[in-house]
Structures are given as structure tokens and as C-alpha cells.
Chain A
Amino acid sequence: MKELLQANPEIIHGAILLLFFVSHVAIVRHFARTETAIFKVQFSVFVLGPLVTLIVVWKLGLIPSFEMILAFYGLSAIYAITFLELWSLTESSYSLQMLVMLTKGAREIRNASEEIGESKHAQRIMSLVRLGLISPHVAGFQISRLGRVVATGATAIANLAGVRYRE
């Protein structure tokens, strides 16, 4: 067993990431309920996960190499971003909420979906103001310099990917 782990240290890292996932399901999800909290938790996993693995690897008698550190951080980055994507998808995806409503037997989803849309719209305006991407204006709202940079970046990526924004 020790020889197997020494030859494949990424198995140890996989097991440690699995432990982080199990601890999330068992404990962390009841405390970290907001986007900010879950982002902080996953950032901590990204930073601490490889460090814990390196300690275990060192205890097993291996000397951690630079390549090993890079590999562990790469695997942790994949875990953290996948987790964040799945978390936000299941938290707020409009399309998924519609699908779930229909699967649960709802006959009419338009009104309920429009209500979700209205609350989502208001929430998004508030978060954009909070992030400094838009600001209040005499007319209502205006885009900030940072917001313009983000919008330009998003347009560039959309053009690169060949996706079009539909008015």
C-alpha cells in the first residue's frame, strides 16, 4: 500500500479532496450558505488541500518536488472550480429551476418563472452595485469603468467562442 502511494502521490491528493467534499456535505454546507462564503471555503480548499497532501507525502518518505506541487495545485484548482460551478448552477440556474418545476408535476411554469426572473433581476442589479460594476445615476444606473472593462472582456470572449448576445 505504502509503495503504491509513494509511486502515485496523486491518489493521496484525490483522497484528501474527497475528504474535503465529504466534510462539505456533512458539515460545511450548513454554515456556508452564501456565494461569498462558499467562494472563501473553496479558495481555502485550493490553498490548503495541496499543503495537507505535501505533509502526508513527506511523512511517507517522499521529498516533494516542484512538479508535484504544481500537479497538486492543478488538481485542486479543477476541484474548486468544478465545485463552484455546480454549486452556483444548482443554486440559481433559471433553466434548471424550470425543469425541476415541470418534473415535479407543475402544469404552468410561466408565472412562477417570471417571478423568479423579477427577483433575479433585482438581485443582480444589487450585486452589480455592490461589486462596483454599476453605480446609481440621476437617470437610474450607469456602468462604471470597471464594469466597462468586464463587459468588453465578456464581449471579446463571446466573439472568440462564436456566441452572440441576443437583445
Chain B
Amino acid sequence: MIATFSMSAIAGTVVLHWLSGRIFPSAGAILRFSIIFIVAFPIVVWISSLVFDARMSRVAAAAWYFFACELYVFCFTLSLGSVSVKLLYILRAGPRSRRDLEEAYSPAGMVDIRLHRLVAAGFMMPGEEIKVTKKGAMIARVALVLRNLLHSTQKNSFRQTLPS
């Protein structure tokens, strides 16, 4: 019953996300999903309180719904931004040499796409000289704090990439 409830809820959320993509094609997929989730999660919790009598059943239903949403976001962001998935897309058309792969998905192109996205998200200022916005600087600081908490201090790729 709990599994059926959570699966129905995530299926409904994915359908809404798909519909929102048809209605607002220019809006970002993550923004569309975030808005849907903010509205849908309290509704799912409320409906679960009507369906289930036991408190732990309601907690379980909400937790598995939340997990399924997170997994869905992980999957679609992976298919949007992952280098590995893009290499698979390219190779689906047929075998390629290493040079072909490098040309089809060049580091310069990867940088351009990321810069474009960072500017569009308001993390960087557009213009000749690339500058980070306040919002971007805040995200970078949070990322550094998290990195220092989660990773070994002996292996820090962020530090390795910083200019001396």
C-alpha cells in the first residue's frame, strides 16, 4: 500500500513535469520540477494523512516519495549535463576514434556551454571579462565548505585547480 501510494505520487509528479515542459518549453527543467515539488510535497503529505492511520506509514510514504523525486532529478540532470552520457550519445551513431570524440565534444566547447549556463543562472556576469556575481560567490563558498567536510584534505581537486 505504501509502495503503491509513493509510486502513484511520483508518477503523477513526473507527468506534471512532462506537461510543464510542453506548456513552458523555455523554462529550465530543474526550475519547473522545483516549483512542482514545492507544491506537490505538502499535498502528498496531506493525502497520506487521509489514506494512512498509522503515523509511521505516513512517514514512510512521504520519505519514499521524496527519495523517488530526488532519484528522478538525479537521472535527468545526469542526462542533461554528464560528460559520460554525452559520450554515449555520440557513440550511439557508430564507432568513433579518440580524436573524433575529442572534436565532437571539445574541452573548449564544454567550457563555453558551462559559461553560458552559469551566466543564464545568474552566477556569472556576461561581458568581455568573466566575473562572478554575489550569488555565484555564495554558491562557491558553500561548495568549498561542503568539499572540506566531505572530502579528504589530502586530495582536493578544487585546490589543485586554483591558480597559485
Contact = CB atoms under 8 A, between A and B. Distances in A.
A74 B67 contact: yes
A151 B70 CA distance: 20
A98 B117 CA distance: 12
Interface string A151-167: 10011011011110111
Closest 10 CB pairs of A and B: A162-B21, A117-B107, A74-B63, A140-B97, A71-B60, A161-B76, A154-B79, A103-B140, A70-B60, A142-B95
Contacts of A86: 146, 150
Interface residues of B, number: 87
Contacts of A10: 56, 59
Interface string A82-103: 1101110111111111111111
A125 B163 contact: no
Contact of A160 (B14, B80, B89, B110): B14
B64 interface: yes
Contacts of B83: 120-121, 124
B147 A112 contact: no
A121 B63 contact: no
Most buried by B among A30, A112, A154, A162: A162
Given A112-B161, A154-B79, A96 B143 contact: yes
Interface residues of A, number: 80
Contacts of A138: 95
B43 interface: no
Contact of A151 (B64, B92, B157): B92
Given A97-B161, A104-B162, A143 B111 contact: no
Interface of B: 2, 14, 17-18, 20-22, 25, 29, 32-33, 54, 56-57, 59-60, 62-64, 66-67, 70-72, 74-76, 78-80, 83-89, 91-92, 94-102, 104-108, 110-111, 113-115, 117-118, 123-124, 129-132, 136-137, 139-141, 143-144, 146-147, 149-155, 157-158, 161-163
B63 A77 contact: yes
Contacts of A141: 91, 95-98, 101
A102 B86 CA distance: 26
A99 B92 contact: no
B79 A157 contact: yes
A102 B130 contact: yes
Most buried by B among A71, A116, A127, A165: A71
A134 B91 contact: yes
28 contacts: A65-B56, A67-B60, A77-B63, A77-B64, A77-B67, A86-B146, A87-B150, A87-B151, A89-B143, A90-B151, A94-B110, A96-B158, A101-B161, A101-B163, A102-B124, A102-B132, A103-B136, A115-B107, A117-B111, A125-B87, A137-B95, A142-B94, A154-B79, A155-B89, A160-B17, A161-B21, A161-B80, A165-B89
